[in-house]
C-alpha cells in the first residue's frame, strides 16, 4: 500500500509588499517513494512552494489551508520534526555553505542531529565519495568551482538521509555527465531507502523519468500528471512558458516538414524504432 507523504490543501502565499499572490490556492498530493518534478517559468512560484513545505515561509492565513508531511501537520509544534524529514538542496550553493571546509560542511547537518562521531565520519565519507568529492575533503569553499559546491551541497543532504529530498535546480551548474551521475545517485537512494524526491527543474528531459509532474504558471497549479499526459497538452505547456522535451519538439519540426508521427510515439526509443521500421520498408 502506498501512502501519502505530502498533502497540501488550499495553499496561498504573498511576499511582503508584493501586490500579487506568489502562490494561489494550491492543492496537491505526493505518494511516498515517488519522484515528483515541479516545472514552471521563472517566477511561477516553484521555489516559494518548496520553502513553504518545510516552514521556511509561512502561508497566508486561511482556515482551509493544510500542509501535512508524513502524517504530521505543519505547525509550530511539529516544525522541527518536519524539518528533520525534509532535506532541501538550494539552487545557489554559496547560500548553503556553512562549514570552513568541505567535510565540516557535510557534517553540519549530522552535528545538528546529534549523530555520534564515529557514525558521522562514516556518513560524511560515504556521502562525499557518492558525489565524487572525497579528494576535496579538506578543501575550503572558495577553492571550489560552482559545480563542485553543488556536489558538496548535495552530499550534505544525502548524509542526513531525509525521508524527502527537495532538489531546487540543484544540478543547474553541473555538466551533463555530472548531472546524470548525481541524478542516478538520487534515484538509487530513492529506490534503496524509499526516499521521496521532489525535483524543481528547468531540464525538461529530466522530467520524462519522473512518476508525476506538477506544472505551475504564475502561482497557479495548471496541471499534474504523468509525463505523457503533461507533454501531449502542448497548448498548456506553451501557455505556461515552458519548452517541450526533445522528442516532442522533433515531432513538431517533422510535422512542419510534412512528416506526421503517431501520437503513441512518445519517447526517443519509440521514435528510433518507428523511423527504422519505415526505413526497412523503404
Which residues bind to other proteins, rule: CB under 8 A?
15, 17-18, 40-43, 47, 91-92, 94, 140, 143-148, 151, 169, 172-178, 202, 204, 241-243, 246, 249-250, 253-254, 256-259, 268, 271-273, 275-276, 278-280, 282
User: By C-beta, is 66 or 248 nearer to other proteins?
Assistant: 248
* Cβ distance to other proteins smaller for residue 189 or 244: 244
Cα within 13 Å of Cα(63), Cβ side: 0
How near is the Cβ of 1 to other proteins at its closest, in Å?
Answer: 37
Nearer CB in complex with other proteins: 147/225: 147
Min dist. Cβ of residue 254 to other proteins (A) = 5
Q: Give the residue carrying C-alpha cell 517513494.
A: 33
Least spacing, CB of residue 163 vs other proteins, in Å: 26
> What are the DSSP calls for 159-228, one per residue?
HT--SEEEEESTTTTS-HHHHHHHHHHHHHHHHHH--EEEEE-S-HHHHTTSSEEEEEETTEEEEEE-HH
Nearest Cα residue to 25 out of 64, 70, 56: 64
Nearer to other proteins, 12 or 78 (CB): 12
Closest separation in Å from C-beta 33 to other proteins:
28
Closer residue to other proteins in complex, CB, 4/91: 91
- Letter string b/e over residues 250-272, b meaning 16 or more CB atoms within 10 A of that residue's CB: ebeeeeeeeeebeeebbeeeebe
Minimum distance of other proteins from residue 161's CB (angstroms): 25
Q: Are 271 and 247 in contact (CB under 8 A)?
A: yes
Q: C-beta of 35: minimal distance to other proteins in Å?
A: 20
Residue whose CB is less far from other proteins, 85 or 149: 149
Q: In what order do the strands lie in the sheet with 66-69?
A: 23-31, 4-13, 66-69, 72-73
- CB distance 87 to 48 below 8 Å: no
Amino acid at each position: 500500500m502506498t501512502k501519502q507523504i505530502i498533502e497540501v490543501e488550499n495553499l496561498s502565499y504573498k511576499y511582503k509588499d508584493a501586490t500579487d499572490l506568489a502562490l494561489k490556492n494550491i492543492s496537491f498530493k505526493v505518494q511516498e517513494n515517488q519522484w515528483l518534478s515541479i516545472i514552471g517559468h521563472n517566477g511561477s512560484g516553484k521555489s516559494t512552494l518548496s520553502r513553504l513545505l518545510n516552514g521556511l515561509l509561512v502561508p497566508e492565513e486561511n482556515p482551509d489551508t493544510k500542509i501535512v508531511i508524513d502524517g504530521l501537520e505543519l505547525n509550530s509544534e511539529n516544525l522541527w520534526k518536519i524539518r528533520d524529514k525534509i532535506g532541501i538542496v538550494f539552487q545557489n550553493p554559496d547560500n548553503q555553505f556553512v562549514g570552513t571546509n568541505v567535510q565540516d560542511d557535510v557534517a553540519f547537518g549530522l552535528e545538528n542531529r546529534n549523530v555520534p562521531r564515529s557514525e558521522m565520519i562514516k556518513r560524511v565519507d560515504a556521502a562525499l565519495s557518492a558525489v565524487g568529492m572525497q579528494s576535496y575533503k579538506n578543501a575550503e569553499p572558495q577553492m571550489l568551482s560552482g559545480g563542485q559546491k553543488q556536489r558538496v551541497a548535495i552530499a550534505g543532504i544525502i548524509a542526513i538521509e531525509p525521508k524527502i529530498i527537495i532538489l531546487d535546480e540543484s544540478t543547474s551548474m553541473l555538466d551533463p555527465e555530472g548531472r546524470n551521475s548525481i541524478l542516478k545517485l538520487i534515484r538509487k537512494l530513492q529506490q534503496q531507502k524509499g526516499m521521496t524526491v521532489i525535483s524543481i527543474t528547468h531540464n525538461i528531459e529530466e522530467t520524462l523519468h519522473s512518476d508525476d509532474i506538477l506544472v505551475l504558471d504564475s502561482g497557479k497549479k495548471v496541471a499534474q500528471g504523468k509525463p505523457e499526459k503533461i507533454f501531449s497538452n502542448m497548448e498548456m505547456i506553451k501557455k505556461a512558458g515552458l519548452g517541450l522535451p526533445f522528442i516532442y519538439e522533433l515531432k513538431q519540426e517533422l510535422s512542419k516538414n510534412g512528416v506526421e508521427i503517431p501520437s503513441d510515439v512518445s519517447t526517443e526509443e519509440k521514435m528510433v524504432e518507428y523511423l527504422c521500421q519505415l526505413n526497412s520498408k523503404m
